[in-house]
């Protein structure tokens, strides 16, 4: 595998075509991979053997990192169990929780070479449930931790070369985030193994607090990130849940909450939502939550704390630091920020520590080296997004509509929480009038999972997140009811020169 220069991240990808299977951006710890055409996307998501031989990498929560696979093999040699039956986790807490969710005896949990995990007796339903828990809670073994295990065992020659801040990195990250969110101090910021780990820990912490008052139902607003939905739908956290399909329908949200007095533990939403990029009325949701006596949890990964100010309205705010906070697409990490004015602040801080998994120290050091550029990165992304959005709407023969923070239904709500004008964040969901292949296959940018890098990326997000629904007529109808269909292109705008970004998309959108 050829590795790009670790700190020359933008040029390592650039505005160009990348070969299928190339790591994006090129580090051994890359969180994305090039899937450059729709046919390869379909093959990748459907598990086609030929495609997976060409594209062996993937987002680390969904595709086991090669280093983690090798560590499992090393543990198998130690007699821990067969390699394909070892599920490795970041912490012992995660291993015991995965085993419990899968219905396995606590004796299935093991520790070897400093690594924790679960022995899976077979590849049946219990194994599937254990893997589901680890994926949806983001409690997987870090690739950097796996790298260190392999290095100590003499199986690799060295670590990935990369910038890292080894002097109090946790303090650096928490300090930057506390300042960005307007928290009172670093005590309000907890760091987690991934963005999903932060969300899962938050839902569990809030549920613990509210269960004492007989509250164990969550309200999900609209179509949000599918792993977040899975926390509730698959009951990885033992709660009930209700969904209001339209996050803009305040009357329906209030009606649903008021119809079940004393039942709701929390309201869960995103700003904007993933993948539809819809922003609900956050101040109004706070009022509804107060009347109901429940918590409000907001995920601000897409908007970032530099563009929106939501902590005064939320009990807890979650963010994936994998995205804009680092911009390097080579580390998984997350954060949860507690509103110190929440009536449950102290209990929530303790609950986040109890239910979450702390990141591996080298992941924290990597984020610390990158997070100092967070604010400047967001400024450049905002400016480029405004330019690109204005140009895309001119291509009305190809582009039907664009969903983004300034979309018709979201703009008013977004501006209620915006810190400043002209700050929409970096995601655009482009509704195409033509087959996705017509644009996606021609587009000369990094194409694959993830977003929020300092280089421009594109994703066939409906395929990647909801391939199972696209595969059946009933599933396609479910997507259509939520304004989603196969021919939608998600664009994550980078920090390159705006003229070059525009030219790249102009070429892909031109008629044949």
Phi-psi region of 18 (alpha: psi -120 to 50; beta: other; left: phi over 0): beta
Token representation of residue 20: 């299928």
Bond before 489 cis per omega within 30 degrees: no
pLDDT of 236 higher than 80? yes
Query: Could you say which DSSP state residue 116 is in?
Result: E
pLDDT of 5 higher than 70? no
Q: Which residue has the tokens 């924790």?
A: 116
Q: Residue 461's pLDDT is what?
A: 84
Q: Residue 3's pLDDT is what?
A: 35
Token representation of residue 250: 């305040």
Q: Which of 382, 416, 423, 389 is CA-nearest to residue 280?
A: 416
Q: How far apart are CA 252 and CA 249, in angstroms?
A: 5
The 109-112 sheet, strands edge to edge: 86-89, 115-119, 109-112
Average pLDDT rounded to a whole number, residues 118-129: 92
**pLDDT over 90 percentage in the chain:** 87
Average pLDDT rounded to a whole number, residues 223-235: 89
Q: Which of 500, 423, 496 is CA-nearest to residue 456?
A: 496
Average per-residue pLDDT for the chain? 94
pLDDT of 436 higher than 70? yes
pTM (2 d.p.): 0.95
pLDDT in tens, 242-269: 999 999 999 999 999 999 999 999 999 9
- Cα distances (angstroms) measured from residue 471 to each of 42, 201, 393, 421: 10, 32, 30, 41
Q: How far apart are CA 495 and CA 511, in angstroms?
A: 27
For residue 78, give the 3-state DSSP assignment.
coil
Longest Cα pair distance anywhere in the chain, in angstroms?
Answer: 63
Half-sphere exposure of 252 (CA within 13 A, CB side): 13
Q: Residue 10's pLDDT is what?
A: 64
Q: How far apart are CA 232 and CA 102, in angstroms?
A: 16
Bond before 430 cis per omega within 30 degrees: no
Token representation of residue 483: 């304004």
**pLDDT over 70 percentage in the chain:** 98
pLDDT in tens, 271-283: 999 989 999 999 9
Distance from chain centroid for Cα 397: 32
Domain ranges of the chain: 66-139, 169-371
Query: What's the pLDDT band for 14 if we cut at 50, 70, 90?
Result: confident
The 217-221 sheet, strands edge to edge: 189-192, 334-338, 316-320, 295-299, 264-270, 217-221, 240-244
- Cα distances (angstroms) measured from residue 223 to each of 196, 214, 244, 405, 479: 16, 27, 9, 16, 9
pLDDT of 6 higher than 60? no
Query: What's the pLDDT band for 467 if we cut at 50, 70, 90?
Result: confident
135 Cβ contact partners less than 8 Å away, ≥ 6 residues apart? 61, 62, 227
Burial label, 106 (beta-carbon count in 10 A; 0-12, 13-18, 19+):
exposed
Average pLDDT rounded to a whole number, residues 14-37: 95
pLDDT in tens, 350-393: 999 999 999 999 999 999 999 999 999 999 999 999 999 999 99
Q: Residue 223's pLDDT is what?
A: 85
The 488-492 sheet, strands edge to edge: 399-403, 427-432, 488-492, 457-459, 446-447
Token representation of residue 284: 């109004």
pLDDT in tens, 46-101: 899 999 999 998 888 889 999 999 999 999 999 999 999 999 999 999 999 999 99
Average pLDDT rounded to a whole number, residues 407-432: 97
For residue 268, give the 3-state DSSP assignment.
strand
Query: What's the pLDDT band for 121 if we cut at 50, 70, 90?
Result: confident
Q: Residue 11's pLDDT is what?
A: 67
CB 202, CB 298: distance < 8 Å: no
For residue 112, give the 3-state DSSP assignment.
strand
pLDDT of 511 higher than 80? no
Q: Residue 2's pLDDT is what?
A: 31
Q: Residue 327's pLDDT is what?
A: 97
Token representation of residue 8: 């020359």
Q: Which residue has the tokens 């379909």?
A: 42
What residues form DSSP beta bridges with 101? Answer: none
Burial label, 39 (beta-carbon count in 10 A; 0-12, 13-18, 19+):
middle
Q: Residue 391's pLDDT is what?
A: 96
CB 118, CB 99: distance < 8 Å: yes
pLDDT in tens, 209-223: 999 889 999 999 988
Q: Which of 219, 227, 231, 235 is CA-nearest to residue 267?
A: 219
CB 440, CB 460: distance < 8 Å: yes
pLDDT in tens, 43-61: 998 899 999 999 998 888 8
| Domain at 169-371: CATH code | 3.40.640.10
pLDDT of 1 higher than 50? no
Q: Residue 62's pLDDT is what?
A: 87
Query: What's the pLDDT band for 8 if we cut at 50, 70, 90?
Result: low
Query: What's the pLDDT band for 175 if we cut at 50, 70, 90?
Result: very high
Q: Which of 138, 268, 108 is CA-nearest to residue 201?
A: 138
pLDDT of 7 higher than 70? no
CB 329, CB 9: distance < 8 Å: yes
Average pLDDT rounded to a whole number, residues 184-201: 97
Q: Is the dihedral of CA 410, 267, 61, 464 positive or negative?
A: negative
CB 189, CB 232: distance < 8 Å: no
Segments in 244-373 forming alpha helices (H): 250-258, 282-292, 345-355, 361-371
CB 82, CB 126: distance < 8 Å: no
Bond before 275 cis per omega within 30 degrees: yes
Q: How far apart are CA 408 and CA 278, in angstroms?
A: 10
pLDDT in tens, 281-314: 999 999 999 999 999 999 999 999 999 999 999 9
Half-sphere exposure of 409 (CA within 13 A, CB side): 14
Q: Residue 128's pLDDT is what?
A: 95
């Amino acid at each position: 595998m050829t590795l790009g220069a670790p700190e020359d991240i933008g040029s390592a990808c650039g505005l160009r075509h990348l070969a299928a299977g190339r790591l994006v951006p090129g580090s051994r710890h890359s969180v994305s991979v090039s899937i450059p055409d729709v046919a390869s996307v379909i093959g990748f998501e459907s598990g086609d053997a030929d495609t997976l031989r060409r594209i062996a990498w993937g987002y680390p929560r969904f595709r086991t990192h090669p280093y983690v696979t090798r560590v499992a093999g090393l543990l198998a040699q130690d007699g821990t169990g067969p390699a394909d039956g070892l599920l490795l986790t970041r912490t012992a807490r995660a291993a015991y929780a995965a085993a419990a969710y899968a219905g396995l005896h606590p004796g299935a949990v093991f520790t070897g070479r400093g690594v924790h995990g679960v022995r899976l007796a077979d590849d049946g339903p219990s194994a599937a449930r254990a893997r589901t828990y680890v994926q949806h809670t983001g409690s997987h073994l870090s690739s950097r931790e796996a790298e260190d295990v392999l290095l100590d065992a003499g199986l690799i020659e060295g670590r990935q070369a990369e910038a890292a801040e080894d002097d109090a990195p946790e303090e650096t990250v928490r300090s930057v985030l506390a300042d960005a969110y307007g928290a009172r101090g670093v005590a309000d910021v907890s760091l987690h193994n991934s963005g999903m780990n932060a969300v899962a820990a938050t839902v569990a912490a809030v549920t613990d607090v509210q269960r004492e008052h007989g509250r164990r139902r969550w309200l999900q607003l609209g179509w949000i990130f599918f792993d977040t939905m899975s926390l509730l739908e698959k009951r990885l956290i033992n709660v009930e849940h209700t969904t209001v399909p339209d996050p803009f329908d305040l009357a329906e949200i209030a009606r649903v909450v008021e119809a079940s007095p004393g039942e709701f533990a929390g309201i869960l939403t995103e700003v904007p939502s993933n993948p539809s990029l819809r922003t609900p009325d956050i101040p109004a949701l706070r009022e509804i939550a107060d009347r109901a006596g429940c918590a409000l949890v907001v995920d601000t990964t897409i908007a970032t704390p530099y563009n929106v100010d939501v902590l005064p309205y939320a009990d807890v705010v979650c963010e994936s630091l994998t995205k804009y906070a680092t911009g390097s697409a080579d580390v998984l990490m997350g954060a949860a920020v507690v509103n110190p004015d929440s009536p449950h602040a102290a209990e929530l801080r303790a609950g986040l520590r109890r239910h979450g998994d702390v990141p591996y120290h080298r992941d924290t050091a990597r984020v610390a080296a990158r997070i100092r550029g967070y604010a400047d990165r967001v400024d450049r992304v905002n400016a480029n997004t405004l330019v690109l959005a204005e140009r895309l709407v001119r291509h009305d023969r190809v582009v039907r509509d664009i969903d983004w923070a300034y979309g018709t239904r979201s703009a008013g709500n977004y501006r209620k929480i915006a810190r400043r004008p002209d700050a929409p964040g970096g995601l655009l969901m482009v509704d195409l009038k033509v087959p996705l292949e017509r644009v996606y296959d021609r587009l000369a940018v990094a194409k694959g999972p993830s977003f929020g890098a300092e280089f421009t990326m594109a994703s066939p997000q409906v395929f990647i997140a909801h391939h199972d629904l696209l595969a059946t007529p009933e599933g396609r109808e479910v997507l259509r009811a939520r304004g989603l269909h196969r021919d939608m292109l998600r664009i994550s705008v980078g920090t390159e020169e705006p003229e070059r970004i525009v030219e790249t998309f102009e070429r892909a959108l031109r008629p044949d």
